[in-house]
Amino acid sequence: MKSIFKSTSKLLVAATMVMGLGASSLMAEVKDKFQVSWTIYVGWMPWDYAQQKGIIDKWAKKYGIEIEMVQVNDYIESINQYTAGKFDGCLMTNMDALTIPAAGGVDSTAVIMGDYSNGNDGILLKNKKKLSDIKGQTVNLVELSVSHYLLARALETVGLSEKDVKVLNTSDADMVAAWGTKDVTAMTTWNPQLSEIMANNKDANLVFDSSKTPGEIIDMLVINTETLKDNPKLAKALTGAWFETMALMKKGDEAALTFMAQASGTDLAGYKSQLDSTMMFYEPSDLLTFTTSDAIPATMKKVSEFSFDHGILGEGAPDAEFIGMAFPGGKTFGDPKNIKLRFDDTYVKMAAEGKL
């Protein structure tokens, strides 16, 4: 399972920021064939199921278009290729959407925020049981990733900051092995590595996880804004397919869940365990409430400030408000003349109202 999931790392690669320059203008056109990239992750397996079982084809046909979900083995590479204009859409976290395509100048729109991490990411201490015991320790994590963000948020809760620890960049693929070495005493990582370490090491204590910062690590379907503007049928078809699949998951369709489990390299029990720490929005009305809440702008403000402080908001960014973001209800954050990331409730609202 580890070997499959290692390609889904959520790390940020600042060097990719320049790749998307000009891509949006290249993609802007009315067309009838689309490609969306995806990678293996518990909250994104429904897209694979929808593709393989013809649900996406059914909805695409309804709108007279063709959609292909293209699996990319490496998570960051999938975002890089989207940013460069190869794909019309891509699955990525809210932080990566800001720091890769948006920071690279590609105007992107989050159409569906399908879930958020609700315990899938966590901080482990060896033989220590309180988060405050992390002070003075070296923390192994994927630097500039959502793990790094989670660490910063956790430290705030106990009156500490990154100055009180030392961060050591470690590949997500090496986390499990690293924990077994005597020098590693603190770690921030995500599932399935997190669960694997806890299951096999009695000295591993979970002292903080993403359930304590609910709604801040969001997994999204992102579409190039110019492509979306010219081709709203793409978003309608994908949203319809998504919630048809969500309905199967909500009623506990074992065949569907087993398919997703096996495709992600685990079994039904393992997949259900991962779902337990993932806040899935099965109902469009619930997702609409989340999408339109004041929590999203507040979260993105935190993410933007973290990203600026760590130099990943784009070359030459003078402050955390350099990149503008737009939210439902006319709310914005950052430079309104440089809006590069949009959170759109249009299609989820249509799903909630039964208008797709």
Spatial separation of the C-alpha atoms in residues 28 and 50, rounded to whole Å: 26
Give the bridge partners for 154, in sequence order: none
Number of Cβ within 10 Å of residue 177's Cβ equals 13
Q: Return the CA Rg of the chain.
A: 20
- List pLDDT tens digits, range 114-132: 999 999 899 999 999 999 9
Mind listing the pLDDT tens digit for each residue in 164-200? 999 999 987 889 999 999 999 999 998 778 888 998 9
Give the helix/strand (H/E) hosting 198: helix 193-200
Tokens of 94: 């809210």
d(Cα 282, Cα 354) in Å, to the nearest integer? 15
- 73, 43, 233, 105 alpha-carbon torsion, rounded to 10°: -60
Q: Supply the pLDDT for residue 213.
A: 93
* Residue stretches of the chain with pLDDT short of 70: 1-28
Cα dihedral 317, 321, 324, 326 in deg (nearest 10): 160
pLDDT digits (tens, 9 = 90+) for 252-296: 999 999 999 999 888 999 899 889 999 999 999 999 999 999 999
pLDDT value for 28? 61
